[in-house]
Amino acid sequence: MTADKNSAPGNESPFLQQSASLDPATATQAWLNSVPQDKREKSDAYFEGGYWLLLWNFLLGLAIAVFLLAGRRAARMRDWAGRVGRKPFLRDALFGALYAVAAWALSLPLTIYQGYFREHQYAMATQSFGPWFMEQLTGLAVSVVLLALVTAVFYAVLRRVGAAFGDTVDVVAGTTPLDARMRCSEARLEIIARELLDGRTGLGPR
């Protein structure tokens, strides 16, 4: 039985010999060593700054939520949505849309720095400000629609669950909402009857 000539150690191609002797770690380090020092430092600064920006965006989002929802700001937003939207679903959707616009406007300075000036500073973008800002407005429109729908559906579910929970409590207590209203009417009639008997109303004899 004869051995395959191509499988003999001396007949391996130069490419296979080079691949067999290639160490990925050594090749990676050799490539990194070929990158100029200033470009390596610039790349490290870009990615490290990106990690910090994740934190700043998170903290800014919390601060915006506290600013908009604390005090009378959320109440004024809710009142405006209630005047414009008569139905609860539309009112909640308008509130969510208004919150999205307000949050976008408050975070716009950081967005401009992070998405435009910083990208140009590190030569990661070549787009001018006009087209870039139009993309931000497109993203805002999508966010407004999505947050409006999510807010409206969320509060609709809360209302449905709240109503069902209230009926469950009444049934457990041995009453229904209709029974509670009837008992309240009976109590009022009893009070009026007592006042009539005591002569303390204008309907009795003087």
Q: Is the domain of 75 the same as that of 167? A: yes
* Residue 83 lies inside a defined structural domain of this protein: yes
Q: Is the domain of 163 the same as that of 203? A: no
Q: Is the domain of 64 the same as that of 112? A: yes
User: 30 Cβ partners below 8 Å, 6+ apart?
Assistant: none
d(C-alpha 7, C-alpha 136), whole Å: 60
pLDDT, position 45: 84
Alpha helices by DSSP H, listed for the chain, are: 14-20, 24-34, 37-69, 73-84, 88-106, 108-112, 118-121, 129-172, 177-198
Q: Is the domain of 170 the same as that of 157? A: yes
pLDDT bin (cut points 50, 70, 90) of residue 80 is confident
Q: Is the domain of 160 the same as that of 190? A: no
Q: Is the domain of 95 the same as that of 145? A: yes
What's the whole-number average pLDDT of the chain? 77
Q: Is the domain of 60 the same as that of 116? A: yes
pLDDT above 60 (res 150): yes
> What is the percent of the chain where pLDDT is above 90?
33
How far, in whole angstroms, is CA 54 from its chain's centroid?
A: 15
Q: Is the domain of 191 the same as that of 158? A: no
pLDDT, position 201: 46
The DSSP code for 35 is S
d(C-alpha 92, C-alpha 81), whole Å: 7
Mean pLDDT throughout 166-172? 43
Q: Is the domain of 128 the same as that of 161? A: yes
Tell me the per-residue pLDDT of 84-141, one tens digit each, with 9 for 90 and over: 877 888 999 999 999 999 999 999 999 999 999 999 988 888 999 999 999 999 999 9
Judging by beta carbons within 10 Å of its beta carbon (0-12, 13-18, 19+), is residue 102 exposed, middle or buried? middle
Least confident among 75-84, 112-121, 163-172, 184-193: 163-172
pLDDT above 70 (res 73): yes
Q: Is the domain of 196 the same as that of 160? A: no
pLDDT above 70 (res 157): yes
Its domain, for residue 194, covers: 175-206
Tell me the per-residue pLDDT of 33-67, one tens digit each, with 9 for 90 and over: 777 777 777 777 888 888 999 999 999 999 999 99
Q: Is the domain of 47 the same as that of 149? A: yes
DSSP letters spanning 86-104: -SHHHHHHHHHHHHHHHHH
Cβ 93 vs Cβ 148: under 8 Å: yes
User: Which phi and psi (to 5°) does residue 205 adopt?
Assistant: -70, 140
pLDDT above 60 (res 81): yes
Cβ 63 vs Cβ 98: under 8 Å: no
* Residue 116 lies inside a defined structural domain of this protein: yes
* Residue 162 lies inside a defined structural domain of this protein: yes
User: 98 Cβ partners below 8 Å, 6+ apart?
Assistant: 77, 80, 81
Name the one residue in this structure whose structure tokens are 């691949």.
19
Who has greater pLDDT, 160 or 135?
135
pLDDT, position 174: 42
d(C-alpha 124, C-alpha 116), whole Å: 10
d(C-alpha 134, C-alpha 131), whole Å: 5
